[in-house]
Amino acid sequence: MSPFVTPEDPTAADAIAGIADELSVFDDWMDRYQYIIELGRKLPPFPEAWADDTHRVPGCQSRVWMEAEPRDGRIYLAGASDAAIVSGLVALLLRVYSGRTPAEIAATDPVFLKDLGLIEALSTNRGNGIASMARKIREIAAVTPAGA
């Protein structure tokens, strides 16, 4: 099984709308947290060999690792964390960004995290961490040549 996430939704905007719909089902943040944790548990297995400093995302309180693979003009992402809630946040980001073109990634501002209420609902450190993950993904897209 590939560690890279294949998109379920046709576009990043559709993924964001889907996440918003799914989160709106829950009345309180404890239920939303549980849902996010479940998303993290469904991530493809992340290779142990990648759980190293080379793949580590700086700026996260928990340990977070990511890998990118350009393929057919799109960037596929794999990710993992040592914390359950953070793994879920990784899963949300990969749902939005993995399998997209560098241009679509660059055009998808991570402000959706704030719009969905995720940044405010998290501790400051976790909020900063998810922002660091989104920044890392956009940096990868910025240096990936079109058509790679």
Q: Which residues, including other chains, have CB under 8 Å from residue 65's CB and lie 6 or more apart?
A: 46, 50, 51, 52, 55, 56, 57, 79, 80, 81
**3-state class (DSSP) for residue 7:** coil
112 is catalytic: no
* Token pair recorded at residue 79: 């990710």
Residue type, 74: R
Closest to 63 (Cα-Cα) out of 33, 91, 86: 86
- Of 36, 60, 91, 94, the active-site residue reads 60
Query: Catalytic site residues?
Result: 60
